Amino acid sequence: MIRQLGMCVILLWSAPAAAQCDDIKILKKPAAMGQLDTATLTCLEAARDNATLTRRENVSNLLIANAFAQKDDATWEKHVKVHLSQIDSSDSETMTRYAQHLLKNDRAPEALKWAESAAEHSYSWPEDELQDNLYELQRLKTRTLWAIYESFAEEGGMRQRAALGQVQLASVEWIQLSAKNKRDMSEAMDFCIRAGWNQERCQQQADL
């Protein structure tokens, strides 16, 4: 099937009618390219809602991948919500991506919730990816907390001071994680200084 959008032509992949979405392996590549057609997507959504848990997880990942490849943020978020609430509430990788999406769309409080949940479920990451993922997650949490702090700019007062304190704690944790894993800590140092500490005090945190 061909869909034309302005000057752009997108080739949509259509599964054989007799087995519209039975073979997950065949669907992985077109899903990664955002090429699943409407009939196949409808079939997958029905399968996700009625299949066994293992198959539901595989189908859900296909729906998420297809929406991501198509840059369809609304559909991607819809599928991610279903995935995290009904299928796999310990998927730290999807939680992290969802938190990044929320922060990008100026929804910092929601982003913080999912970033913290991803940290709680960090055991789901493979051992060889754990430290890199924790580093990126701490960066995300610090940036998110800074966005929350900035959202209180007009209000000021105790809530803004409390938010700044959270930025300090997160940036210190990021500095220490960077030092432990020999990662670049310049951005973490920048947030530590922005949160009110001088460079010497921030640098000391790397030696603790």
Dump pLDDT digits (tens) for 39-69: 999 999 999 988 887 899 999 999 999 999 9
Q: Give exposure, 57-68, as e/b (b: 16+ Cβ within 10 Å).
A: ebbbbbbbbbbb
Render pLDDT for 76-106 as a digit per residue (tens, 0 to 9).
999 999 999 999 999 999 999 999 999 999 9
The reported pLDDT for the residue numbered 176 is 95
Sign of CA dihedral 176, 178, 182, 184: negative
d(CA 4, CA 67): 17
For residue 160, give the H/E element and its range: helix 157-180
Q: Are 191 and 167 in contact (CB under 8 A)?
A: yes
- Given a cut of 70, the residues of the chain with pLDDT beneath it are 1-19
The reported pLDDT for the residue numbered 6 is 45
The reported pLDDT for the residue numbered 5 is 42
The reported pLDDT for the residue numbered 12 is 55
The reported pLDDT for the residue numbered 156 is 83
The reported pLDDT for the residue numbered 11 is 52
Q: At what angle do helices 157-180 and 127-151 cross, to 10 degrees?
A: 160
The reported pLDDT for the residue numbered 2 is 42
